[in-house]
Amino acid sequence: MMALVGFLSGSLCLNTKLYSQTTCEPQRHLSKKSVLGSYLLRKQLFTKHYKRPNSLVVMTVVEVDDTHFEQQVLQSQIPVLVDFHADWCGPCKLVTPLLDWLVSEYGGKLKVVKIDTDKNPRYVKQYDVRGLPTLIIFQDGRLVASSEGALGKKGIQQYIEKHLPQLKTN
């Protein structure tokens, strides 16, 4: 737990007992293996990494607004799932953890984007979003499918794989 406190407080050191407070270098009694293990554990706990050939990409759910929608969604090189949501919407809050799961499930093959309908009305009107949450799949700048209402984990996976068969998992 002490290791997490050091990380969350913005310190580069994992733990003041394990690292020198002035240089953040490992104390002499720790092996290089245990220091590396602590670093890898911290990295695994707080980021989601997906390997592509010759690169490391950090994937996450992207929050967009009306000004960046075209760039992030319509001009994307990979398929995009857009979650139209609002802060006051209860079912939208149930979908949020599933969006994080989708990022980890589909890696760099599907971009997941959220847009707040109260703050960004332009695309709500353009795509005739009437109920929340609404999940819309885009591919090559075109609307592929639209689903209104909260879906469970299995439902959202079936929805994606039905409309984007190239993303089917084994």
Pair 18, 38: CB distance under 8 Å: yes
- Residue 168: count of CB within 10 angstroms of its CB: 10
Question: What amino acid is encoded at 107 in this protein?
Answer: G
Compute mean pLDDT per 10 residues along the chain, 170 residues long, and list them. Answer: 39 42 49 56 48 54 96 96 97 95 91 97 96 97 97 96 87
Check residue 154 and give its pLDDT.
95
Check residue 14 and give its pLDDT.
41
**Alpha helices (runs of H) in the chain, residue ranges in sequence order:** 2-8, 32-46, 69, 90-106, 122-126, 153-163
Check residue 30 and give its pLDDT.
52
User: Where does 55-167 sit in CATH, by number?
Assistant: 3.40.30.10
Check residue 19 and give its pLDDT.
43
Give Cβ neighbours of residue 103 (< 8 Å, ≥ 6 apart): 48, 59, 60, 61, 110, 112
**In the chain, ranges of CATH 3.40.30.10 domains:** 55-167
Instruction: Cite the active site residues.
Output: 89, 92
Check residue 31 and give its pLDDT.
57
Check residue 107 and give its pLDDT.
82
